[in-house]
Structure 1
Amino acid sequence: MRDISTNSLNSAQRARPSLPRLPVPDLRQTLDRYLASLEPLLLEDERLGKASYESSYAFRVQKARAFERGIGKVLQDRLLALDRASLHNWLDDNFWMDKAYLEWRAPLLINSNWWLAFHDDDLLPESAKTGESSDSRAGITLWQIRRAAWLIHRVLDYKGQLDTGELHSETTRTGIWLRQSISKMFNIARIPTPLCDIISPSPPADCPDARKLLLTLHNWFYAIPVYHPPNSPNDIPKLMEPREIESQIRAVVLDVEQRLANGDTATPVGVLSADDRDRWAANQQHLLSIHPTNRKSYQKMLSSVMGLSLDHMTHTIPPGPRTSYSPEGISQEVLDAHLHTIRAHALNVANRFYDKPFTLIVDSSTRAGATGEHAPCDALVPSIVAEYGIVEGVDESAFSATWDEREPGGWERLDWVADEKIQKECVEAHARAVKIIEDSDDSVLWFGGYGTDWIKGIAKLAPDAYIQMVLQLAWYKTRGEFTATYETVLTRMFKHGRTETLRTVTRDSRAWVLAMMDPQCAQETRYKALQRAIQTHTRLTREAATGRGIDRHLLGLRLMMRPHEGEESPLFNDELFERSQQWKLSTSGLSAGHLFRGTGFGAVYDDGYGINYLAAPSMIKFGIESKFSSPLTSTEKFKQTIVECLYEMRFLCSLMEAINSYPVTSHL
Structure 2
Amino acid sequence: MAEAHQAIGVFDEHKRGVELLYSDEGIRISFTIPPPHEIRRSVVRELFHLQRAAKRGVYPAPPFVAILTVVAISVIVAFSPTESWWRSGPISVVVWHVGNFLMPYWHLLPNSIYVAYLAAWAAFLGLLLLMAVQRLFLRLLLSYRGWLYLAPRQKSRVVMAWAALLKVFGGRHPLTYSFQDALPRLPLPPLKDTIQRYLKSVHPLLTSKEYEEVERMADEFVHKEGPKLQFYLYLKSWWSSNYVTDWWEKYVYLKGRSSLMINSNYYALPGANLDFSLTKKPVALAAALVHEFLLFKQDLDREHLAPQLIRGIVPLCMSQYQRIFSCTRIPGRETDTLKLYHHKSKHIAVFCHGRVFKMPLFEKGQYGKLLTKFEIQRQFEWIEATALATGAPSKAEENLAALTAAGRIEWAENREQFLSSGVNKRSLEVIESAVFVVVLQNDVAKDWTSMGKDLIHGNGGNRWFDKSFNLVIYKNSVAGINAEHAWADAPVMAHAWEQVYTTQCYTIPYDDNGDTLVQSEDERESKIPPCRMLQWDLSTSLEGAVLKSLSDAEKAISDFDLKVISHTDYGKGLIKKFRVSPDAFIQMALQLAYYRNSGTITQTYESSMTRLYRDGRTETVRPVTDESKEFVLGMVDPKLSDAEKLKLLQQACDVHQDSYRNAMSGKGIDRHLFTLYCVSVGFGLESPFLNNALSRPWRLSTSQQPQQQTDNWRLVEKALEGTQYSMDDARCPGGGFGPVAEDGYGVSYMVAGENMLGFHISSKKSCTSTSSDKFAEDIEQALADLKALWHPKE
Bin for the TM-score computed over the shorter chain = 0.7 to 0.9
Work out whether residues 267 and 423 of structure 1, in 8 Å CA contact, stay in contact via their aligned partners in 2. Answer: no
Which residue of 455, 461, 485 maps to 2:575?
455
CA change 1:123–1:305 in 2 (3 A) is same
CA 359–344 in structure 1, closer or farther in 2 if over 3 Å, else same: same
1:410/1:179 Cα in 2 relative to 1: closer, same or farther (>3 Å)?
farther
CA displacement at 1:229 relative to structure 2: 5.7
Give 1:189-338 correspondences, 5 Å limit. Answer: 189-200=328-339, 202-203=340-341, 205=343, 207=344, 210-228=345-363, 238-260=369-391, 266=397, 268-289=399-420, 291-314=421-444, 334-338=447-451
Q: Per the alignment, do residues 199 and 166 of structure 1 end up closer, same or farther by CA in structure 2, a change over 3 Å counting?
A: closer
Whole-angstrom CA distance in 2 between matches of 1:624 and 1:261: 36
CA contact (8 A) 1:441 1:626 kept: yes
> 2:662–2:668: 8 Å Cα contact kept in structure 1?
yes
Are 1:520 and 2:633 matched, yes or no? no
**1:543-589 deviation line (CA, Å, top 9, x unaligned):** 00011101000011111114775x22231244xx245x411111000
CA shift for structure 1 position 418:
2.0
- 1:159–1:182 CA contact under 8 A, matched in 2: no
Corresponding residue for residue 492 of structure 2 = 381
Percent of aligned pairs sharing the same letter: 30
Q: Is the CA contact (8 Å cut-off) linking 1:97 and 1:375 kept in structure 2?
A: yes
Deviates more, 1:113-122 or 1:481-490: 113-122
Provide Cα deviations, 1:29-53, integer angstroms capped at 9, x if missing partner. Answer: 10110110111112xx3xxxxxxx1
Task: Return the alpha-carbon distance in structure 1 between the equivalents of residues 415 and 477 of structure 2.
Answer: 33
Alpha-carbon contact 1:610-1:624 (below 8 Å) kept: yes
Bigger Cα displacement from structure 2, 584-593 vs 527-536:
584-593
Partner of 1:570: 688
TM-superposed CA distance for 1:288, in Å, is 2.2
Counterpart among 599, 608, 621 of residue 502 in structure 1: 621
Give a deviation string over 1:338-397, Cα, whole Å, max 9, x none: 223322343xx3222111111110011112100111001001111111111111334114
Q: For residue 35 of structure 1, give the secondary structure of its aligned residue in structure 2.
A: helix
Q: 2:747 aligned to 596, 611, 627, which one?
A: 611
Deviation of 1:502 after TM superposition, in Å, equals 0.6
Q: 1:115 aligns with which of 264, 267, 276?
A: 267
Query: How many angstroms does 1:188 deviate by?
Result: 1.2
TM-score, scaled relative to structure 2:
0.71
Q: 1:241 to 1:406 in 2, by over 3 A?
A: closer
Aligned partner of 1:444 among 564, 571, 591: 564
Structure-2 separation of matches of 1:515 and 1:557: 37
CA distance in 1, matches of 2:498, 2:658: 30
Q: Are 2:290 and 1:152 equivalent residues in the alignment?
A: yes
**What letter corresponds to residue 705 of structure 2 in structure 1?**
L
Task: Give the whole-Å Cα distance in 2 for the aligned partners of 1:408 and 1:238.
Answer: 11
Structure 2 matches for 1:573-592, cutoff 5 A?
A: 573-574=691-692, 577-578=693-694, 581-592=696-707
Q: Aligned pair 1:645/2:758, yes or no?
A: no
- Structure 1 residue 167: Cα displacement: 2.8
Q: 1:27 and 1:504, CA in 2 relative to 1: closer, same or farther beyond 3 A?
A: same
- Counterpart of 1:314 in 2: which secondary structure? coil
**Structure 1 residue 240 displacement after superposition:** 2.3
Structure 1 distance, partners of 2:351, 2:738, is 24
Residues 6-30 of structure 1, C-alpha deviation per residue, up to 9 Å, x if partnerless?
Answer: 4778767745542111111111110
Question: 2:690 is aligned with what amino acid?
Answer: F
Equivalent residue of 1:359, what SS?
Answer: strand
Give the distance between the partners of 2:609 and 2:784, measured in 1 at CA.
Answer: 29
Counterparts in 2 of 1:563 and 1:396: CA distance versus 1, 3 Å: closer
CA 266–454 in structure 1, closer or farther in 2 if over 3 Å, else same: same
**2:216 alignment partner AA:** Q
> 1:405 Cα deviation (Å)?
6.8
User: What does residue 319 of structure 2 align with?
Assistant: 180
Give the deviation of 1:615 after TM superposition. Answer: 0.5
Name the amino acid aligned to 2:509.
Answer: D
Report deviation, 1:150.
0.5
* Residue identity in the other structure for 2:261: L
Q: How does 1:428-439 map to 2 (within 5 A)?
A: 428-439=548-559
Matched with 2:244 is: 91
Offset from partner CA, 1:152-199 (integer Å, 9 cap, x none)? 111221222233233305999989746422221111111111132111
Partner of 1:103: 255
Comparing both chains, which one has the higher relative contact order based on Cα–Cα distances under 8 Å and sequence gaps of 6 or more?
1
Contact 1:190 1:197 in 2 (8 A): yes
Q: CA deviation at 1:84?
A: 2.3
Q: TM-score, normalised to structure 1's length?
A: 0.84
Q: Following the alignment from structure 1 to structure 2, what is the Cα–Cα distance between the partners of residues 405 and 428?
A: 45
Deviations 1:439-492 (A, max 9, x none): 111121100010011101x21211000000010000000100011110000111
CA distance in 1: counterparts of 2:538 and 2:499, whole angstroms:
40
Name the stretch that deviates more: 15-24 or 392-401.
Answer: 392-401
Give the length in aligned residue pairs: 596
1:63 to 214, 217, 223: 217
CA contact (8 A) 1:116 1:599 kept: yes
1:181–1:431: structure 2 CA closer, same or farther, 3 Å change rule?
same
Question: Structure 1: which 5+ runs fail to align?
Answer: 46-52, 129-142, 317-333, 663-668
Give the match's secondary structure for 1:561.
Answer: helix
Shift of 1:62: 3.0
Larger Rg: 2
| Greater displacement, 482-491 / 519-528 | 519-528
Match of 1:189, SS state, is strand
SS state at 1:496 partner:
coil
- Counterpart position of 1:396: 510
Decide whether the 8 Å contact of 1:587 with 1:610 is kept in 2. Answer: yes
Q: CA RMSD in A?
A: 2.7
